[in-house]
Amino acid sequence: MDLFASSWLEVHAGIMSEGGWREWERSFFSMLRKGQEVLYLVFTPLQQRQAFQKLFAGGQQVWRGEGVFVFDTFFRRLAEEIFYACQQDRKLISWLGEYVLLEWILRQQGGVGEDFSFSGWVRKILKLVGEVKVNYLGGEESPLGRFCRRIGRGAQKKLIYHVLKEFDNILQERGLADGEDALFFLAQKMAEEEVLERVLRGKAFLILEGVDDLSLLDQLLLRRIIPRMKRTLGGMLGGGESGFDL
């Protein structure tokens, strides 16, 4: 049985005909609540048609627990496709974070082999297209822009930092002027559901400088949000907790 036959065609038709990215967001949460495979929905509308034809031709299905279908060749072929796409269109750097976050989640669930690191491909892509333009993040002189410079390539320690596209809005909402203070505020005070909702809706960057020394937000994701998401995914396919009410 072809796992993609009905659900993929249904979602693809909806995304392409009913308003693009906004429909993508609705479809993502709709499929999560139905317990269908998360991996169907990690592509932007512009990339979907060709990418799915290439990525899943002859893919080998594997079930590795807790509500996520993974394909043996998925990440290697996905990385190759994204690497090629970024050579053609530099704007694609803006949605790479979703894939890294997905790898992170799957690795926690035993769904990605330890011999493959998608984050390695992301670092190659970042080197190819240059540093992420900080105008995506509010401008060089915004609190976030200054923060990114402080913890960028010249940082003493390697870390993973997660940057929300709406970070400047969060600073304004909370009345915070300094990026580093805001990062600590996010990690310590912001509701987990708010962080997760913004991440899953594709409004996030994930920029990897390395994985040896985990950052504060990394710990927030790994120790609190991702375990909760794992329980949610498990619950939607039988057992575990119920889904998020976002």
| Position 173 pLDDT exceeds 50 | yes
Closest CA to 137 of 92, 168, 159, 160: 168
Residue type, 156: Q
Beta bridge partners of 32: none
- Condensed to tens digits (0 to 9), the pLDDT of residues 181-202 reads 444 444 444 444 444 444 434 3
* pLDDT reported for residue 72: 29
The long-range contacts involving 238-244, CB below 8 angstroms and separated by at least 24 positions, are 243/32, 243/33, 244/32, 244/193, 244/196, 244/197
What rounded mean pLDDT belongs to the chain? Answer: 39
Report the C-alpha gap between 218 and 168 in whole angstroms: 20
Q: How far apart are CA 47 and CA 70, in angstroms?
A: 20
Q: According to DSSP H, which parts of 139-190 are helical?
A: 143-150, 167-174, 179-188
- Rounded to whole angstroms, how far apart are CA atoms 188 and 181? 11
Q: Please report which confidence band the pLDDT of residue 175 belongs to, taking 50, 70 and 90 as the band edges.
A: low
Rounded mean pLDDT of 234-239?
A: 37
* pLDDT on residue 168: 43
Q: Is the sign of the CA dihedral 38, 44, 48, 50 positive or negative?
A: negative
Looking at per-residue pLDDT, the higher value among 220 and 3 belongs to: 220
More confident call, 161 vs 227: 227
Q: How confident is the model at residue 243 (pLDDT cuts 50, 70, 90)?
A: very low
The answer, yes or no, to whether residue 80 has pLDDT greater than 50, is no
Model-level pTM? 0.20
- pLDDT tens, position by position, 85-143: 444 444 443 344 444 444 444 444 444 344 434 444 444 433 333 333 333 334 445 44
pLDDT greater than 50 at residue 164 = no
- pLDDT digit string (tens) for 40-51? 333 333 344 344
Contact assessment for residue 199 and residue 29, using Cβ atoms and an 8 Å cutoff:
no
E-strand ranges in 106-192 read 160-164
